[in-house]
Amino acid sequence: MTTVNNSSAKPLETPPTPSGSAAGFSYAILDSIEQEIAVIQKDGQIVYVNKAWVRFGEYNGLAGADWLQSNYLDICAHAALCNEPEARDIYSGLVAVIHGDRSDFSYEYPCHSPDEKRWFLMNVVGLNGYTDDLFVVIHSNITQRKMAEQQVERLSLLDPLTGLANRRHFMQFLPAEWQRNRRDSTPISLILLDIDDFKHINDQHGHIAGDACLKQIASLIGRNARRPGDLVVRWGGEEFMLVLGNTSHATALQMAKELLAGVRQIESPEYGRCTVSVGLSSAVPADDDCEALIRQADSALYQAKNAGKNQVFCYGAITP
């Protein structure tokens, strides 16, 4: 929403104030507030903006805008016509308050600049008790809160020991990737790995050595997730899952064998050597049941364990 009328007019440095010290005091308070504040009429015409509003306009390339000659409804409508989804929502909410269909409106939206990411909270409310013809529009910078929320969300999707995605992340990722491959009629593959005799490593060498083993194998598997459709997951305990979007059974099988060989080559001073058992499942999605692919990979892994460990099994077929 960056279009205003009379952009060549001088910037509004101080709002027009009625006579009287009480009014001047009130405007001074509004100008000291960090939030961008504007007052508009029912037709959208802006009748007041505080200094924070003017500064925000200047920061976004609108230096010299005469805001008192601008119509906020027109600004929002123009942005909505430019296919900005947030602008459409803002315009609808603003109109609803002006028409009396709702008492207030709040909306969080991104307003990123080339050099930083920013988010704002918009509030619209009528000047009830004073007049029914004026409405207050407030924009508050909530960037720090949104960034903190995103960091918490990111951390909630990661396994703290290995830094890999956790099950929660996987259960968000797999259905979306499943549907993408379904639309494209392309195969998706799952490789499920389990460290053989991991309890022995913990009992023989200690939990620090066990953690080192988990991190080394996580690093090895993680190098195989190079595309947006790939995800490496700490499935639980000593199990890892590798999701491979748009990957055929043959390609996934080759990767599974390479992972098996790669783990065999690791020799650690903390725990010596270890091996993994691997289960593989592949499918071209035809329905919404992505969990069937998980069950199939788990079944193949169970077969690999029962057959003596340290090998790859594919669902429905033995693969030594």
Angle between helix 249-265 and 207-222 (nearest 10): 140
Tell me if 189 sits within 8 A of 281, measured CB to CB.
yes
> β-strands 312-314, 276-283: how paired?
parallel
Distance, in Å, from the CA atom of 37 to the CA atom of 26, rounded to the nearest integer, reads 13
Distance, in Å, from the CA atom of 253 to the CA atom of 108, rounded to the nearest integer, reads 46
List C-alpha distances in Å: 36 to 25, 106, 256. Answer: 18, 14, 56
SS3 string of 232-268?
EEEEECCEEEEEECCCCHHHHHHHHHHHHHHHHHCCE
Tell me if 79 sits within 8 A of 116, measured CB to CB.
no
Contact partners, residue 228, CB within 8 Å, separation at least 6: 245
How wide is the angle at C-alpha 140 spanned by C-alphas 138 and 141, nearest 5°?
155
Tell me if 191 sits within 8 A of 301, measured CB to CB.
no
How wide is the angle at C-alpha 133 spanned by C-alphas 128 and 138, nearest 5°?
65
Contact partners, residue 141, CB within 8 Å, separation at least 6: 34, 35, 118, 119, 120
Set 238, 239, 258, 291: catalytic member: 238
Q: Decide if 238 is catalytic.
A: yes
- Tokens 């951390």, residue? 155
How many helices (H) and strands (E) are present in the chain, helices listed first? Answer: 10, 10
Q: What's 284's DSSP letter?
A: -
List C-alpha distances in Å: 18 to 15, 51, 132. Answer: 10, 17, 20
Q: Which residues are catalytic?
A: 238
